[in-house]
Amino acid sequence: MEVAFVFVSLFIIIFGIFYLHYSTRNKERLALIEKGADASIFFSAKAAQKKSPVPIWRILILNIAVLLIGIGIGVFTGALLETYTVIEHDIAYTGSIFLMAGLGLFTGFTLSKKLIDKE
């Protein structure tokens, strides 16, 4: 029963966030149109420019690969911390996995940015 409550609550929260975002954006755009603003302000300058020369699947695979490498290194580091230090099992694994996954995501972002800038 508790698990169902959590999933229903999560669904309601996500739906509420999206509903609030889109309804607010729609009201804001309607107000700007009523004042006579040009429709081109709704599109960013970046979207009007040429799309990225790097396919999105390359960036996605690169980021997922670096994230999984980071998680693997985190598990290995957690095992080392548990074995050779007095850090508790839960803290060693959880902390090192999240730390290395975060570093992996940051590294993936940096590599993706360099890949886009290069091409």
Q: DSSP for 22-66?
A: HHHHHHHHHHHHHTT--GGGGS-HHHHSPPPSS-HHHHHHHHHHH
Tell me, what's the pLDDT at 44? 67
Please tell me whether residues 25 and 54 are part of one structural domain.
no
Assess whether 67 and 109 both reside in one domain.
Answer: yes
Same domain assignment for residues 19 and 59: no
Tokens matching residue 81: 């911390």
Query: Largest Cα–Cα distance in the chain?
Result: 69
Of all residues in the chain, the percent with pLDDT exceeding 70 is 90
Domains contained in the chain, number: 2
Q: In the predicted model, what is the mean pLDDT of residues 47-59?
A: 72
Show the domain range for 71. Answer: 50-119
Q: Are residues 54 and 112 in the same domain?
A: yes
Q: Residues 41, 58: one domain? A: no
Percent of the chain with pLDDT over 90: 53
- Do 62 and 14 lie in one domain? The reply is no
- In this structure, are 109 and 57 located in the same domain? yes
pLDDT class for 72, splitting at 50, 70, 90?
very high
